[in-house]
Amino acid sequence: MEKRIIGMAAFTVAGAAISAFTVLLSMLLFQQSTYIYVGIIAAALLIFGNVLISGAFQRLSTTMKIVLPLLLFVLPLAGYGGYEAYIDHIEIENAEVDLTAYEPFRKETKAVRLEQPSSFTLKENLPELDGATALYPVYSAFVRAVYPENEYPHDNTLDSEVAVSKTPGAYNRLAAQNVDMIFAAGPSEKQESKLRPEMEQTAIGKEAFVFFVHDSNPVQSLTVEELRGIYSGDITNWEEVGGKNQEIIAFQRPDGSGSQTGLQKMMDGKKIMDPPSDHRVSGMGGVIEKASSYRNHRNAIGFSYRYFSTQMKENNNIKLLKVNDVPPDVPSIKNDEYPLSSEFYAITNGTDNPNVPPFIDWILSEEGQTIIEKTGYVPLGEN
């Protein structure tokens, strides 16, 4: 009996030391939650080993010999995995912006307005509009200035002339000619292949494609080549670009989303690495939450557009990186100094609505450009 007690004590001390070292190593080398799984397995092994040394396992019934490993290993691991999945779900559900606040004629709407009534208005045959989440505040303000006052629920593509299907949905609706015009970044190659030869995209404003990290990350600036290296998988540790010795967690968006298309264009033909499924986030707000949340990854990097990340989904736990030492601010976008500045567009696909051409002309006029500027984007012709 004494030998078993001594054996159990020695096993516990040695096992605890090895487990502590393993947990610490996993905290340094892997994603933030990996050490918890390692800790669960280590604790289960300690308990199971002591049960074996004590001889208690041999006295268990056949059923209990099967049940005990399940209780020690499977249930804790499955339970924590389920908890993580639930928290991820809650985070993403809470991450996206409530676009209802930007609906054009809603009381106390966030959509901006002109100081004077618009010189161009529509009363009937209203163009059907759709677009990207980040551009909804802009085209909602266009509607507020030009369309008759009415309810235009952003989430009702059947009954509303002004909806938000996000970039992939908006391009799908445009390709099917279910809308007259969308507001988005330029199409991906796949999206463009589905549009008619009559497709036209008219640049209406300028914006910056931005990368962000947790505020505690010491890295302040990356070059375009370094960004390409990170998203191709050639650069995997922050130490390689002047940061801490930590793995880089590079989040992405689904193919066809406006920001993922922006990433593809930034890569300039260089192959983007395939991310793990939990590193591909459906919404831009979700990417910001992933990069900013303590629960997730302080060694993460994500991407979005400047206006969305600073105005629509403001988060003090992230910081926008400079690119080639140039900050993504309004002056650098105006002067084309920020290397990832780009235009955004009003895009049509062979619409026969006669009100669309004069509407686009008005958007390009001083009044339309004023709305773009008041919303927080950069108007054209500001060099």
Determine, yes or no, domain membership for 383: no
Q: Are residues 285 and 309 in the same domain?
A: yes
Confidence of residue 83 (pLDDT cuts 50, 70, 90): very low
Domain boundary among the residues 94, 125, 154 is at: 94
- The Cα–Cα gap between 274 and 232 comes to 9
Short-list 305, 380, 304, 360, CA closest to 129: 360
From the CB of residue 196, how many other CB atoms can be counted at a distance below 10 Å? 12
The pLDDT of residue 15 is above 60: no
Within 8 A by CB and 6+ apart from 207, the residues are 185, 305, 306, 307, 333, 341, 342, 343, 344, 377, 378
pLDDT at 18: 66
User: What is the average pLDDT value for the chain, to the nearest integer?
Assistant: 82
How do residues 366-375 score in pLDDT, each as one tens digit?
Answer: 999 999 999 9
Domains in the chain, number:
3
Residue 85 to residues 41, 189, 232, 291, 366, Cα–Cα distance (Å): 19, 34, 27, 17, 49
Q: In this structure, what CATH number is given to the domain that contains residue 223?
A: 3.40.190.10
Determine, yes or no, domain membership for 45: yes
Determine, yes or no, domain membership for 380: no
Question: Residue written as tokens 């199409």?
Answer: 187
Domain extent at residue 157? 99-203+349-375
Q: Are residues 112 and 197 in the same domain?
A: yes
Short-list 151, 190, 197, 195, CA closest to 173: 195
How do residues 294-334 score in pLDDT, each as one tens digit?
Answer: 344 578 898 888 988 887 766 567 899 999 999 999 999 99
How do residues 208-246 score in pLDDT, each as one tens digit?
Answer: 999 989 888 999 999 999 999 999 999 999 999 999 999
- The Cα–Cα gap between 361 and 21 comes to 67
Short-list 199, 207, 206, CA closest to 347: 199
Determine, yes or no, domain membership for 339: no
How do residues 127-152 score in pLDDT, each as one tens digit?
Answer: 999 999 999 999 999 999 999 999 99
pLDDT at 86: 37
Percent of the chain past pLDDT 70, that is, above it, reads 71
Confidence of residue 284 (pLDDT cuts 50, 70, 90): very low
Confidence of residue 76 (pLDDT cuts 50, 70, 90): low
Beta-strand pair 199-214/318-320: antiparallel
How do residues 25-35 score in pLDDT, each as one tens digit?
Answer: 655 555 445 65
Q: Are residues 131 and 219 in the same domain?
A: no
Burial 339-354 (b: 16+ CB within 10 A, else e): bbbbebbbbbbebeee
Q: Are residues 38 and 133 in the same domain?
A: no
Q: Are residues 172 and 105 in the same domain?
A: yes
Claim: this prediction has a pTM higher than 0.75: no
From the CB of residue 277, how many other CB atoms can be counted at a distance below 10 Å? 6
Q: Are residues 271 and 159 in the same domain?
A: no
Determine, yes or no, domain membership for 344: no
Domain boundary among the residues 70, 94, 118 is at: 94
- Of 60-64, 68-72, 287-291, the range with the lowest mean pLDDT is 287-291
Confidence of residue 193 (pLDDT cuts 50, 70, 90): very high
Determine, yes or no, domain membership for 42: yes
Determine, yes or no, domain membership for 342: no
Q: Are residues 236 and 150 in the same domain?
A: no
pLDDT at 143: 98
How do residues 40-60 score in pLDDT, each as one tens digit?
Answer: 676 767 676 666 676 666 777
Cβ atoms of 22 and 38 within 8 Å: the answer is: yes
Determine, yes or no, domain membership for 307: yes
pLDDT at 290: 43
pLDDT at 277: 46
Which one-letter amino acid corresponds to residue 81? G
Q: Are residues 193 and 282 in the same domain?
A: no
Three-point CA angle 350, 160, 359, nearest 5°? 45
